[in-house]
Amino acid sequence: MRKGVFVTLVMALLGALLLNPASAAVKAGTTCTKLNQKTSSAGYTYTCIKSGKKLVWSKGVKVSTPIPTPTPSTSPTAIGDPVGSIGSNPIPLPTASPTISQTPAPMVNLTVRELALKEVKARWDANKNNVGSVTLYLQPDLPNFVSNALKDSATNAMRLYGKDFLPDATLFAGTKSDWYTKTFCEYRYPSEMWTACEADSHNGPGSGSGWPQEFPQVDAYGAVYGAITKTSTSGTEYLPSPAYIYLSSFKDKNSLSSSVYSSPAHELFHALQQFQFGGGDTTSQSASNISTKLKNVDCSNYLSQCPSLWVEGSAFYFGYASAEMSNPGILNNQGLPLKPNWLTSERFTLDQVLQWNVSEMMRSPYKGNYTYLAGGLMTEALVAAFGIQKVFEFTKNSSLGLTDTSYTFATNFKRSFGVEWISWSSKADLYLQNSLDGKVTYAKDLDIPVRN
């Protein structure tokens, strides 16, 4: 929806940067060889002292280091990696002693963004062997720099979401072309219906949306429409909706809009939402369940589709957070920048945005952008405050709203996070308003304890 400037594709994976070379761990009380020798390990200095007849390492004395001031930057190292975070060595806790004063726990002062990204990276690292499968239908003549960015986005997303939350998915990406229509028709219909499908312009994905619009860069937008049926002689089968990515023309262009990096991951988060809403064991079962249960998409009755603040906000945050795995800085620069350039003086609180439905967003591009941004920041604050697993579970739990009309966003919030929405939303509102004012927010500003 929003157009960004070109972001250099940085291929270095953040995960690799987080791996500290494991230095030989020194432990207080273990033997050493040379009296008064000093060594440091994991932020502590140890001295070789005499204990009885033995030479042993002393209790560690914390090496004082200045508290790093996190600065939003495109440098991958700026995304919080304090001592004790993922991948680094655990800090040996000094045992209480009457002679050495207890060293206070090292202070970490992370921004909400850094803390949430730490959560994201921890899940991404841990999910190496928990990746759902994704079938990609990529237009064959796409230039490599376009198809690679799309593949990266989809693979990062599948790994971040994990197969426990999204076991499999299908994604189409291409320009408005015969290839798109043909591939879509062959996916959805039995062969005897292909010709009819291809002849019907209404069957073309993205029809009526103004696609393709032309931009100076290769641009993308996407959609997930909901479960679809595949009819054949053996009956009707439900297919989970694929994620559709629509690309602008790539002719004579050599740069990408940030949307190309984030859209596949954004749409795959919608696929995750669908799978979770349906509550089946497989994506097809979920698709079938949704079709049975879902009578309409009235926000007031069916939480699973609503509110847009949450449905779009979470897809928006995780779309860019996934992209961040291969493109450090994209979240700060393109996804959720401070004081976005489209902002006017018109401000809304999260509770106000919560009331908007999809048609209201469609009517006003400003409200549309505002919904993605506000929901994205709210999701980020939730990840920082409660952890990414809880946030994914919040999505899963919202499926109760599909059949129980009394199950509201606030009910689900309380059930999933254990706190009242009405009391917590003021923190997310502060984060939103700070960001709109161009002000960086620290976890402590929202009373979010920083876990080590």
Closest CB to Zn ion among residues 312, 324: 312
Closest approach, Cβ 413 to Zn ion, in A, equals 21
Listed ranges 12-20, 314-322, 385-393, 404-412: which one lies at the site for Zn ion (CB under 5 A): 314-322
Q: Which is nearer to Zn ion, 189 or 275 (CB)?
A: 275
Q: Per CB under 5 A, does 309 bind Zn ion? A: no
CA distances from 408 to 307, 389, 393, 413 (A): 10, 21, 15, 8
Binding to Zn ion by residue 315, rule CB under 5 A? yes
Residue 108 binding Zn ion, by CB under 5 A: no
Shortest Å, Cβ 312 to Zn ion: 5
Residue closest to Zn ion, measured at CB: 315
Binding segment toward Zn ion, per CB under 5 A, in 73-81, 88-96, 188-196, 310-318:
310-318
Number of chain residues interacting with Zn ion (CB under 5 A)? 2
The smaller minimum CB distance to Zn ion, of residues 48 and 224, is found at: 224
Q: Which residue, 227 or 446, has its beta carbon nearer to Zn ion?
A: 227
Q: Which stretch binds Zn ion (CB under 5 A): 76-84, 209-217, 231-239, 313-321?
A: 313-321
315 vs 353, which CB is nearer to Zn ion?
315
Q: Residue 113 or residue 270: which is nearer to Zn ion going by CB?
A: 270
Site for Zn ion in 227-256 (CB under 5 A): none
Nearer of residues 57 and 316 to Zn ion, judged by Cβ? 316
Q: How far is the CB of 165 from Zn ion (least distance, A)?
A: 17
Task: Report the interface residues with Zn ion, using CB under 5 A.
Answer: 312, 315
